[in-house]
């Protein structure tokens, strides 16, 4: 029987949740508000009342072509996500349903790679990309973002696959299903929520990645993170224009996150509640 919760307690919990959400979202909200201010208004001080001008967006588009880095971000994010899934699904399947003595060690080793500072391998990565012709290319950024996010993708899929009863896969084997058919026709449909949330999270991580994209791309393959950084000049920071560029960069991922929030929550809590 479910425990009864008083109306007052619900009200307090709801108010606390809204307060926390507002604190988390406030930097994004203030960036959007600042993008509609003039430069003098932006540097004058904190104010939540914009002048309603669109001149920053006009100047941003006039100085830099928004659509080229936007297309680069789409290609790099989707490309790295698809490659990561193609690698991670079989890897997570093997570790979830055919574990060995070293499975746990391999998982911990993969996770430990996320603890290493990226700057520690910047120079060798830059030299490798330069010598192989991958510098400032979409393919190069797609490869590096795949490698950066691969441990997280494998870990998430491994967690989801562990919740699927192994007897179902054994029944498919008894019916003559090969390993490939078992993964494609049995395992994948059952893990759609987990795969979808993993895919969405990987897209968000790849879209927001700035360390590698700024350092391994210059003009041809520069995504929206480099687009934002280009508005930081030696003459100073133009906060209104920088806010407009940031708003244009985060708008697509905010919209995607808003419409896919149910899938994200369902996938991220998959198997957590019995």
Q: For 74-116, what is each residue's pLDDT tens digit?
A: 999 999 999 999 999 889 988 888 888 888 888 888 888 888 8
Mean pLDDT calculated for residue range 176-201: 82
Q: Are residues 226 and 69 in contact, defined by beta-carbon separation less than 8 angstroms? A: yes
In the chain, count H helices and then E strands: 15, 2
Q: Phi first, then psi: what are they for 196, rounded to 5°?
A: -65, -45
CA nearest 84: which of 206, 261, 253?
Answer: 206
Q: For 215-269, what is each residue's pLDDT tens digit?
A: 898 888 889 888 888 776 655 567 888 888 888 888 888 888 777 777 666 656 6
Give every CB contact of residue 207 below 8 A, 6+ residues apart in sequence. 73, 77, 223, 224, 252, 253
Distances (CA, A) of 79 to 111, 141, 145, 148: 22, 10, 9, 13
pLDDT the model gives residue 5: 64
Residue with tokens 């510098």: 135
Mean pLDDT calculated for residue range 56-62: 83
Q: Whole-prediction pTM value?
A: 0.80
Secondary structure (DSSP) of 216-257: H-SSSS--HHHHHHTTEETTEE-HHHHHHHHHHHHHHHHHHH
């Amino acid at each position: 029987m479910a425990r009864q919760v008083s109306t007052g307690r619900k009200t307090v919990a709801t108010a606390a949740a809204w307060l926390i959400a507002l604190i988390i979202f406030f930097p994004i909200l203030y960036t959007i508000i600042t993008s509609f201010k003039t430069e003098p208004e932006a540097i004058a001080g904190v104010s939540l009342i914009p002048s309603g001008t669109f001149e920053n967006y006009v100047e941003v588009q006039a100085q830099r072509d928004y659509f080229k880095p936007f297309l680069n971000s789409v290609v790099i994010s989707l490309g790295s996500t698809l490659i990561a899934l193609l690698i991670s699904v079989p890897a997570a399947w093997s570790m979830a349903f055919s574990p060995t003595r070293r499975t746990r060690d391999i998982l911990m080793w993969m996770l430990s790679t996320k603890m290493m500072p990226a700057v520690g391998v910047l120079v060798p990565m830059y030299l490798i990309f330069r010598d192989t012709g991958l510098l400032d290319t979409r393919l190069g950024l797609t490869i590096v973002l795949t490698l950066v996010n691969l441990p997280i993708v494998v870990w998430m899929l491994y967690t989801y696959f562990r919740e699927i009863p192994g007897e179902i896969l054994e029944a498919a084997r008894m019916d003559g299903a090969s390993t490939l058919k078992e993964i494609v026709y049995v395992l994948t449909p059952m893990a759609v929520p987990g795969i979808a949330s993993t895919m969405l999270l990987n897209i968000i991580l790849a879209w927001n990645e700035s360390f590698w994209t700024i350092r391994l791309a210059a003009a041809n393959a520069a995504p929206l993170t480099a687009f934002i950084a280009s508005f930081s000049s030696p003459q100073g920071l133009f906060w209104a224009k920088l806010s407009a560029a940031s708003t244009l960069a985060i708008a697509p991922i905010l919209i995607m996150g808003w419409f896919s929030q149910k899938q994200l929550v369902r996938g991220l809590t998959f198997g957590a509640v019995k």
